[in-house]
Amino acid sequence: MERKVKYSYEFKLLCVEEVLKKHRPLTSVAINRGVTNTSLKQWISFYLKFGNEGLLPKVRNTKYSLNFKLKVLQTIENKTLSLGKTCLLFNIPARSTILTWQRQYEKDGLTGLKLKPKGRPKAMNFKRKQRKTDKPLTREEELLKELEYLRAENEILKKFNALVQAEQANQNKRLKP
């Protein structure tokens, strides 16, 4: 299933060609076509760097390695690049991706940049403790097991009685004006 693209490839190419080949001002093209200036600038820069492929929809939810993220952040630091230039240099579709990496790195260091599992965690498997041997239980062990069962049953009945009494008390309060 493909993701929905806001602007088609043909539309982006038409806007970029208007600016580059017809020498129309960027702001007038953006206003006439209903696009933001920053989007149009980004399309032009990707077009100039990568050609027609630069305008194709980017693959979203790309998983970047820890080394790649670190390399991007170090390049920004060493060369003092802007987010837009860094996106262009490393072919990253959105500036917000790099911003997220910067925040995670400042907060947690390298561990913040590691890939994290997505989605709900798997349900925990509860396994009953298995008996160590296949020998039949001794009379004493059987009695202890029965005692444990009866105590648990007794606790359940006490809680049930407490709930019934609380419910009756609530009904009595409602009946009294």
Cβ contacts of residue 52 below 8 Å, gap of 6+?
13
Per-residue pLDDT, 1? 40
Q: What is the value of pTM for the model shown?
A: 0.53
Per-residue pLDDT, 7? 81
pLDDT in single tens digits along all 177 residues of the chain: 444 558 888 888 888 888 888 888 888 888 888 888 888 888 888 888 888 887 777 776 778 888 999 999 999 989 888 888 888 888 887 888 899 999 999 998 888 888 877 777 777 666 666 666 667 888 998 899 999 999 999 999 999 999 999 999 988 888 776
Of the candidates 98, 59, 63, the residue with the CA atom closest to the CA atom of residue 77 = 98
Q: How many CB atoms lie within 10 A of CB 57?
A: 15
What is the H or E stretch that residue 13 is in? helix 9-20
Per-residue pLDDT, 103? 92
What is the H or E stretch that residue 66 is in? helix 66-79
Per-residue pLDDT, 8? 84
